[in-house]
Structure 1
Amino acid sequence: MKPLITLIVSLLTASTIRAQAPVSQPLTLWYRQPAKQWVEALPIGNGRLGGMVFGGVETDHIQFNEATLWTGEPREYQREGAAQYLPKIRQLLADGKQAEAEALAQTHFMGRQSHEADYAQKKNVWFTNIRKLADTKAGPTAVTFDERTWKTMTVPTADGWERTGLEGLDGAVWFRTSFNLPQTWAGKDVILDLGRIRDQDFTYLNGELIGTSEGITKNRRYPIPANKLHVGENQIAIQVINLFDKGGFIGVKTTQPTFVVYPDGQQPTDGVPLKQPFSYWIQDENPPAAPRYQADYQPFGDLHLRFSGQGQPTNYRRELDLTTATSRVTYRANGVQFTREYLASAPGQAIAVHLTADKPGQISFEASLASPHKGHTTKTVDNQTLAISVQVRNGALRGESLLHIQTQKGRVSISGNKLVVSGADEATLYLTAGTNFKTYKDVSGDPATLSQRPMQALRTQRFNAVKAAHVREYQTYFNTLSLDLGHSANEQLPTDERLQRFDQSADPSLLSLYLQYGRYLLISSSRPGRNGVPAQPANLQGIWNDLLTPPWGSKYTTNINLEMNYWPAEMLNLSVCHEPMLAAIAEIAESGRKTAKAHYNARGWVLHHNTDLWRGTAPINASNHGIWVSGGAWVSHHLWEHYRYTQDRPFLKSKAYPLMKDAARFFVDFLVKDPKTGWLISTPSNSPEHGGLVAGPTMDHQIIRDLFKNCITASELLGTDAAFRDTLQTMYGQIAPNQIGKHGQLQEWLRDIDDPKDTHRHVSHLWGVHPGTDITWNDTPELMNAARQSLLERGDEGTGWSLAWKINFWARFRDGDHAYTMLKLLFRPAIAPDGMTGGGSYPNLFDAHPPFQIDGNFGGASGIAEMLVQSQGKTIDLLPALPAALPTGQINGICTAGGFVLNLRWQNGKLSGVDVTSRAGQPCLLRYGEKQVRIATEAGKTYRFGEGLQAI
């Protein structure tokens, strides 16, 4: 038994414990040029408002978002009566009839979609009308049709025609192009290759229909008989119909050319290309509202600044200072030094842009507001203020944004819907925004309230005061942790150049920057609500999105992505940023109770693999991946983690445990006995996005065991629900166990069917290693080795968030060097010199799935922390996975379970010291290598240890 250590260093309380002064290091992203793409722009945010700063010289652009602007409306998502099909689906799966089970589930078990009641009839009427034009002799299919008034588009557009200026377009669009048939091909049949199309096409050659198909997965390779062709120019007309989401020609991922015509029996490389660009005409952009399972997060608008007479700028620099949450652009033009500052203030509830020059009277520009939402309106409020109003298409939400300008000297005027500043010494723009969203069940709010109320206060404030309040508030979050992993010459380079060089040269401080950037993004996208306005959790893109049709709806994917967003919250001293997610769980549970009853005739609540602003919980999309029942159990893990790290007993009693208990009650009713093994199994379900609808996926059983275990412990701590606890304890031992398969791998499914050549991005059956604790070196080393074998078989490659998860796995396997290898892949530039994209990091350090998903940023930050400290078991493990590439460093302010804050130092790959501050007075068991030290702590006291855990 080690002697108790009682050295008191501080009497700081849990709410005021801060990291020691940050080690001097450049916590700044910076670039030598403005952003050309959205994934080069720099993010700012205050938890509710988000902005992307492009920093152009002659034209600047700040694209902005507001957290509650989504499509959709309050509605019921569950399909009443679905439960009657549950026994049949289970039986089909038990009989090995997966395809039949999926077909039955797709027809009768998926959740309700919006607008589904009368959609078919409306669509048929609309479709009939837009197809009539094809039969018109003088219409777009005619060879002699005059298309000179049409616009043009170069195809393919891999991200949809939305990226070519047609943002938000759904409906019917005509395209025309041509090709020249060589004389040598006369009499030959040919193939017309159009790649993939979203979503339906009718393709005509010389006025005659030659092919039609529907669906993104189908490559359009239409055979054309020789008798339909003639030597010389042949005219092609294509009607593309897209009813929702992205549209147009998206090409194919292949080295073979597309948009070519080639002789039948030969290769596309032997073909002639279609004439580029294609001409196009929008026939109808108002199709009936398509049924959607869940809603999409939306952009709000754009602030444009236009400058004249800037000349050729020199010494350009664009940056984001993580220590102050301030972006800045500086350059010199015409002998004048110009500076712009950008921030998103939580105290001010506004985005601010401040423009200055080192000579008087040099600030002149125009400012305007725009939005991708059709039908948006702008107006002049007064001679210093503009307003823009937006309405989400086919949805309940609308918004208002105000733009107000203040200047020192100079003149402000209105020209149309633009603010014009002339000859000012400095200028400040304040941007506010709000919607009519109040709760997921109530849209009776007034958008003007959230835009006008903060603006009234800002009108009387100077920028310096607004900035000072912003920095003070932000630093109460950010300054709780500092990290120094060493330094190199590369840290003086621009951030995009550091990414390019990371694989070839040491740059340890880039890891420090990346971890702190993850913390910055979490603070900026997930802050507690203010002034009675509830906060929303960080979604798939945090709070930043520029598309009306964002990837995967930019919603909350709960089969890993939402949860990964919050992996760093507790560990990296941002527990308060966890609150929006924890609050959302209570709302999800309300909806989930309806889904549990309607789909499973079960008590408690259930969450499938996605949710949105309206807290949908029913199965969505397709039965081969949308029926996954463990989302509620996984998010409940976060309730327990918040308690473990904070030791907040009132939170456990009044909020966490009731939700956890109700989530567990669902599985008490849902689990059934497998007739072949006698184990309790989860069926029907899915190993996320892999292997289709199945009975008994390993991941489910790991998560359910975790939920039951945590409920048992919580009920014991609270001295309640003994009978329910007994039920959980009995069932816990009956749940299908983790199994080791014939390849030495951890089985992903109930049957031993894993393919060692399978490199799927999801590694769901390793959930018990991380973030769970079902598999550990201490308790189940044989399973830990099997899990490691599974990860070796999956390989190191992956998309952004998958790479991030693998960093955490390798840290839990205590293999720091392999975890560092994964970091190299995560830092790999996502945009190659040839323009191709892949998994890694964009120039602004956003995670690339691709496209952008913010979960990889958060998962990567968590993985770096997991290399340094772990506390998932009974011990606090120090430097459990320190890579050789990081031999010396220190981290101040990292948190562990039990309510402890650590300042940790190491040199030459070995622990040199650790200070442990106890927030809750719990027992502490430190472990470094084979040595353990047990401490009986008092709240507010700090305990110091030196090299080898020797007490100081």
Structure 2
Amino acid sequence: MIKQIATLLLIIITSAKVHAQFLLRYDKPASKFTTEQRQDYNKPGYMQEALPLGNGRLGAMFSGGIEEEHIMLNDITLWMNSKRGLSEVEQSGTRIGAYKNFEKVRDAYRNEKYGTSEGSMEAMATKYLSSQQPLGNYAPFTDIFISTEHQSETVSNYTRSLDAFSGVGYVNYSIGKANFTREYFCSYPNDVVAMRYTAENAEMNLTVKASSLHKITNLNTEGNVLILTGEAAMENDPVQFQKRVFVDAGNAKITAQDDGTLKVENAKDVKIYVSAYTDYLPVYPSFKGRDFETDTKTILGNAVKLGYETLKSSHQKDVSDLMDNCQLHLEYEPSNVATDALIKNGPSLELENLYFNYARYLQLSCSRSAPVPSNLQGLWNGHLKPAWNADYHTDINVAMNYWMVETANLPESFTPYKEWLKILAESGKHVAKETYGIDKGWSTGLNGNVFGFTAPNEHGRRMQQSGAWLCQNLFEHYAFSKDKEYLKEIYPILKGAAEFYVEFLAPWKDGSLVVYPTWSPENAYLVEQFGKLNKQAYGASFEQQLALNLFTDCIEASTVLNRDKTFRETLQNIIPKLTPQKIGQYGQVQEWPEDWDNPTDQHRHISHLIALHPGRDFSPLTTPELTDAALVTMKHRGDVSTGWSTAWKTNFWARLHNGDKAHQFYKFLTSERTYPNLFDFHPPFQIDGNFGCVSGVCEMLLQSHLRSIDNSAENIEKAAFVAYKKDKKQTNHFVPVVPDENLAEAPYILHLLPALPSAWPNGNVRGLRARGGFEVDIVWENGQLVEARIQAANNGSFRIFSEGKLSKVITLKAGEIKVFKNETIK
């Protein structure tokens, strides 16, 4: 039976053909993007039905319309309604001289001025600290409309599809004996969108039109090239951009119309190439300087010279190589129904399998080598006023966008996040100094944009220091790769974030160090007494957990790189002084240092369990009492969730080793929180749900966040490093532990199938990544591990944990493979 499974796995993996687990398919076009829909993001239609393409910077969606195709284009650098090119200090968004009133604001916290009235914590923070600079919003780029002169009522055999394995979209239909085919893709190697229209037993008449919701400063044609130049409104310096559309119709006639369109007549084969850029460059504080017109022209010219088949071939290889790195295979019978029908039919293993593979496609499509990371909508936005500005929310969302790049084997997608953090660190040093009076390190608030905005939000209730949260992903990328050159690159960012916290932490009533101002995103406390906007607090548990996480990572990085011993000792001295984590009156993990938790509170944020996930400091295997308290918290919060919250709960339950509960949330999101094009239904659309839930699937199948600090220990309770220990005097308090410097060399523990749901009795996964620099393939049958194949990306050691057994330390050289069968793990 094992040989049969292995053979089947080999056949599936080596086949490059389109199959159901990568294919989105529909039997009708997407809805038209009406004016009403573009003005109101709550109106469903095009954005929820059109299919996405992208190369990480340049994105597109196609509708497959019969009478008219609508290609919506996005450039991830195109923002509007903000400011750029200010002085270095002003560009950060900080309120100049705010630090002069910082202690006045802190007095409100020390004196416990709750609520929102004058003199309260929120009112004081808003009055003296909050930014007055506009954040702006992510904006749509341009549109292309291609009219066909076809009529819907004459069409038969219509199919619209997206092959997520190769990143190519298709439309096929017939009119009488004539067959019409379209192809679409967005090339990363050549940085263009390409399309092809072909006709069999017929000829085509097409009209190609370019437009934009922004101000068009020039629209003209040069031969068979459409050129649209425009600008997006800013408070001080409009963002300039250009798009070029090249139409190749072979020997068919192409005519430039007076309205700036191209008319194609009697064509059998039409190829269309699109290049587009803004003037944005990630240079603080100007954020401009790209010669966008020259680049647009040059890139288009290069693509035309290469030709369509060469562009398509290089694109398919690029995407398929990345998609092939990691695949999930659940055992099910394909339904052979359209994707929208598959969703309507309710939960299924087929849908769950497709969702996993499709999320990886979305990840590589919206984050590659662009200068900024994916935002709340990834890359795809058609609204001048998108939901939540389609910005960078640093209280979960932008971090969640990047959880799966490590475990689901897409580390190539991480570069934009790293580059953005460099900008935040440069900008945030001005916020640290001008807002808080701290001369060391950097700080950033709750919301970000592409122009280095790092100041506190305009509302005082949203005061938060986000550096520790953002740096968690930064260090995790090192943990998975063990790349010391990368660690050298990011170490100044880690250190700067830690330096800020060292100065920002202050003693509270009991003398322990807490962060304030802060909040527990985005929750309120003492609501009956002070109202639902009573959110500002001190020492919120999530930020205390993150501070410990950051200090521990900095100690490890400093140790590995053999630098900053004095600063390392400073962190080691501070850690025991941090306020402890506490178990409250209901047996729950306290959300705040005071026992304010409400057991009927079902708020979507559960930030005070961040040490459970994506942190690594709460675990059923190492901190059973804190884990039991986390279980109480999870039960209090309930099962009703938004898209991203559902995703996070999937990860939480996986870390709690409850596979069936984790699967319950994954099943709910895939079948009830997804639009027809499988975009996450928050509502409205947010892409973090897509990415976060797939992270949860990876956590069900493999976990590697625990470290073996005692390699002679035969059980995991004694072997693993523990970050919190019970206070001997107050048994419901758990104090932070100073990590031994040997932690830097401690092997990671690879926990196989820690939360396999009973709904997935048979299956396999290939290419999951584990911390320490390993790739893992796993086959299971009847809910039990059959075989695990572990390959080292570099020289390294690890231990295996499976079925309650902990292996001895195993060391592999780079490229070496170790195969484990369940019965061989000792």
**1:341 aligned residue (175, 183, 186):** 183
Answer yes or no: is 1:26 the counterpart of 2:36: no
SS in 2 for 1:688: coil
Note the alpha carbon deviations across 1:225-250, whole angstroms, 9 max, x for none: xxxxxxxxxxxxxxxxxxxxxxxxxx
Q: 1:864 to 1:929 in 2, by over 3 A?
A: same
SS in 2 for 1:685: coil
Aligned pairs for 1:118-133 (under 5 A) are none
Deviation at 1:949?
4.0
Deviation at 1:21?
6.2
| Whole-angstrom distance in 1 between the partners of 2:217 and 2:379 | 21
**Partner residue of 2:383?**
547
Deviation at 1:447?
2.0
| Whole-angstrom distance in 2 between the partners of 1:945 and 1:879 | 13
Aligned pairs for 1:230-241 (under 5 A) are none
| Whole-angstrom distance in 2 between the partners of 1:928 and 1:93 | 47
Q: 1:22 to 1:426 in 2, by over 3 A?
A: closer
Note the alpha carbon deviations across 1:378-412, whole angstroms, 9 max, x for none: 21122x11111111123431100011100133211
**2:670 aligned residue (816, 820, 827):** 827
**Partner residue of 2:241?**
399
Contact 2:21 2:357 (8 Å CA) reproduced: no
Q: 1:102 to 1:26 in 2, by over 3 A?
A: closer
**Partner residue of 1:82?**
98
Aligned pairs for 1:394-543 (under 5 A) are 394=234, 395-416=237-258, 417-440=260-283, 441-442=285-286, 443-490=288-335, 492-503=336-347, 507-529=348-370, 535-543=371-379
Contact 1:435 1:450 (8 Å CA) reproduced: no
Bigger share in helix: 2
Contact 1:924 1:935 (8 Å CA) reproduced: yes
**Partner residue of 2:83?**
73
**2:492 aligned residue (638, 649, 658):** 658
**2:222 aligned residue (373, 376, 381):** 381
SS in 1 for 2:137: coil
The normalised TM-score by structure 2 is 0.86
**Partner residue of 2:172?**
330
Answer yes or no: is 1:844 the counterpart of 2:695: no
Q: Which amino acid aligns with 1:30?
A: R
**1:765 aligned residue (580, 600, 608):** 608
| Whole-angstrom distance in 1 between the partners of 2:411 and 2:445 | 25
Answer yes or no: is 1:784 the counterpart of 2:627: yes
Answer yes or no: is 1:577 the counterpart of 2:413: yes
Answer yes or no: is 1:890 the counterpart of 2:764: yes
Q: Which amino acid aligns with 1:947?
A: N
Q: Which amino acid aligns with 1:659?
A: I
Q: Gaps (5+ residues) in structure 1? A: 1-17, 114-291, 530-534, 830-839
**Partner residue of 2:729?**
none
Contact 1:370 1:388 (8 Å CA) reproduced: yes
**2:819 aligned residue (941, 944, 952):** 944
Deviation at 1:376?
4.9
What RMSD over aligned residues (CA atoms) do the two structures have, in Å? 1.6
Q: Which amino acid aligns with 2:316?
A: V
| Whole-angstrom distance in 1 between the partners of 2:458 and 2:105 | 17
**Partner residue of 2:501?**
667
Answer yes or no: is 1:92 the counterpart of 2:92: no
Deviation at 1:475?
2.4
Q: 1:942 to 1:826 in 2, by over 3 A?
A: same
Deviation at 1:375?
4.2
Deviation at 1:777?
1.8
Deviation at 1:621?
2.8
Note the alpha carbon deviations across 1:452-477, whole angstroms, 9 max, x for none: 11111122233111100111222232
**Partner residue of 1:619?**
456
**Partner residue of 1:353?**
195
Deviation at 1:779?
2.3
Contact 1:746 1:765 (8 Å CA) reproduced: yes
**Partner residue of 2:4?**
none
Answer yes or no: is 1:799 the counterpart of 2:819: no
Deviation at 1:419?
0.9
Deviation at 1:580?
0.9
| Whole-angstrom distance in 2 between the partners of 1:392 and 1:815 | 48
Answer yes or no: is 1:643 the counterpart of 2:478: yes
Contact 1:295 1:613 (8 Å CA) reproduced: no
Deviation at 1:866?
0.8
**Partner residue of 1:856?**
689
**Partner residue of 1:734?**
577
**Partner residue of 1:747?**
590
**Partner residue of 2:716?**
none
| Whole-angstrom distance in 1 between the partners of 2:228 and 2:780 | 54
Deviation at 1:31?
0.9
**Partner residue of 1:870?**
703
Q: Which amino acid aligns with 2:492?
A: P
Deviation at 1:363?
2.0
Deviation at 1:333?
1.1
**1:109 aligned residue (129, 135, 157):** 129
Note the alpha carbon deviations across 1:3-28, whole angstroms, 9 max, x for none: xxxxxxxxxxxxxxx98768965311
Deviation at 1:778?
2.5
| Whole-angstrom distance in 1 between the partners of 2:129 and 2:21 | 53
Q: Which amino acid aligns with 1:822?
A: F
**Partner residue of 2:230?**
390
The normalised TM-score by structure 1 is 0.75
Aligned pairs for 1:287-326 (under 5 A) are 292=134, 294-310=135-151, 312-326=154-168
Q: Gaps (5+ residues) in structure 2? A: 1-11, 32-44, 525-534, 708-748
Note the alpha carbon deviations across 1:105-145, whole angstroms, 9 max, x for none: 111111231xxxxxxxxxxxxxxxxxxxxxxxxxxxxxxxx
Contact 2:23 2:164 (8 Å CA) reproduced: yes
Q: 1:57 to 1:885 in 2, by over 3 A?
A: same
| Whole-angstrom distance in 1 between the partners of 2:611 and 2:329 | 31
Q: 1:328 to 1:447 in 2, by over 3 A?
A: same
Contact 1:35 1:41 (8 Å CA) reproduced: yes
Q: Which amino acid aligns with 1:606?
A: S
Deviation at 1:341?
0.5
**Partner residue of 1:592?**
428
Contact 1:511 1:864 (8 Å CA) reproduced: no
**Partner residue of 2:804?**
930
Note the alpha carbon deviations across 1:119-178, whole angstroms, 9 max, x for none: xxxxxxxxxxxxxxxxxxxxxxxxxxxxxxxxxxxxxxxxxxxxxxxxxxxxxxxxxxxx
**Partner residue of 2:726?**
none
Contact 2:797 2:811 (8 Å CA) reproduced: yes
Q: Which amino acid aligns with 1:635?
A: L
| Whole-angstrom distance in 2 between the partners of 1:327 and 1:852 | 21
**Partner residue of 2:30?**
35
Contact 2:66 2:150 (8 Å CA) reproduced: no
Note the alpha carbon deviations across 1:771-829, whole angstroms, 9 max, x for none: 01121123211111111111111111111111101100010011110111111221234
Contact 2:806 2:825 (8 Å CA) reproduced: no
Contact 2:805 2:825 (8 Å CA) reproduced: no
SS in 1 for 2:631: helix
Q: What percent of counterpart residues are identical?
A: 35
**2:773 aligned residue (893, 899, 908):** 899
Deviation at 1:903?
1.0
Contact 1:487 1:509 (8 Å CA) reproduced: yes
**1:46 aligned residue (50, 55, 64):** 55
Aligned pairs for 1:197-346 (under 5 A) are 292=134, 294-310=135-151, 312-346=154-188
Q: Which amino acid aligns with 2:30?
A: A
